[in-house]
Structure 1
Amino acid sequence: MAIVWKHPHGSLSVYPNLRCIASFGAGVDFIFENPDRPPDVAITRVVDDALAEDMSEYVFTVIMGYLKNTSQYVMDQFRGMWSPKPYSRISDHTIGIMGIGTLGTHLAKDLRNIGFKVVGWSKNPKKLKDIPVYHGAESRKEFLSKSSVLVCLLPLTPETRGILNQDTLNQLPKGAFLINVARGGHLKEEDLIPLLDSGHLSGACLDVFAEEPLPKEHPFWDHPLIQITPHVASVSDPASVVPQLAENYLRLSRGEELRNRVDLQQGY
């Protein structure tokens, strides 16, 4: 069993008896992108209540900052500007969550309990109490049209890579706000700034990027409507994660079914 996180390509090929590749986090896209991955070896991922709660708290913080203009006021402070702005309320917004897996479901319920209107979208049918969940490509346009704040929590697969592009984001209401806390590969980066400059999007908060750390020359750093955080929305805590990895190792050694096993065809 190999426990990995963004391991160097080729590092697993020296283990001919490998029976399981265990991600140290919730994501597994980096495992599937490894060209020398043994194709039939089981893959597992971390499913952790602490990770889900961390993600929910991060997204809630960003949304409330957007509603109350706190990020803009931080910038105004350093410029010595006293510039009151109109704010909005929880009741004014519908939060659209792309990806209703473990993290997306937790976030959707938390936001709904706070009082937000919430809609979800996933590849396959999902049911959540009091939260409409759209599914499939044919319903994505309707889902996007209702989302004044869009949160991406999709798994990164060949199907979802680049899904946050000009065509998709143009289907959001004018003035919508984007939050990407999934993977940098979901966003077609060159499409974002024109949508911000045109006013179609009112802002974006990005925690993940195609290249990390984000290169110093990247145009996102200097754009006033883009908030950047360094991939910190939800970070695996060894004290919480190691016990489930150890349990899966024991299950593997006994020939038992593994917990949180990834579908090798779906990629998540």
Structure 2
Amino acid sequence: MTTAQAITTLGLVHIYRSEGQDVAALSGVDLSVGAGEVVGLLGPSGSGKSTLLALLGGLFRPSAGKIFVGEHELSALTPSQLDAFQARETSLMLQGAQRNLIPYLTVRENVEFAQVEARRLGADVIGVGRGLELVGATEFADAKLGRLSQGQLQMAALAVAMAPSPGVLLADEPTSALDRVARERIVDTLMRVNEDQGTTVVVVTHDPEVADRLPRTVTIRDGRIGGEGRSGKEYAVVTADGFIPIPVHIRDQLPPGTLLRIEPDEAGYRIVPEVIGQDPGSGPVD
């Protein structure tokens, strides 16, 4: 059985150069994902969600802040330690199934190849047959990739990602460009992987139907956490520096210059909007 890993980021910042200028992809992200959780990362294009996923997978180091996956602080690992971490404890599925697969091998051969390095580094790899069965890829296991549908290719990529029996599965847009039936099957498979193996699953998605299937969602907006969703309810998240991002559906109702007053009431606290030079708002923001 997989040993699920918790994920924590503290003040995570990532800056890259674009056309001679510094661009902040992430601007202080504090995120906690419990061991064995399934979490979706949402947000518009360019919000930083895929950058966050890549950092969690150790593809590159953040400009500032810390990332903990299980007992590992990623920025403190040597290159060889990072290689071992990536081979044994986490799997990153890149967007686009073909980017995760060797085109001239069958699905089964891809899974076998994925286990080689993990086994060399001491990972408790899942059996090839069991891995194919887990993701529902048994029926086309010996097919060449060129004969598979997009949905089947994504299932093959999932089988490869689960080959080393990782504690964390990071999936970047795994339902992109799929039809509704294939999307549902991929989400069902991710949930089954979590339930059967205990794997912590973090999924980047822009699809609201996929997001509705996930027990927890985190919205990334302008490089920061802009809100969380739990069981269909949206919440603002108070960051470590006291920043409170306003959910989009409320922000659209508040004109620029609005002041938000936090005051106690019988239920605890309420937020009352006021506009400078105008009458105070008529009631709390729910």
Give the TM-score category using the shorter length: 0.3 to 0.5
Larger Rg: 2
**Structure number having the greater strand percentage:** 2
TM-score by structure 2 length?
0.31
Which fold has the larger relative contact order, with Cα–Cα distance below 8 Å and residues 6 or more apart in sequence? 2
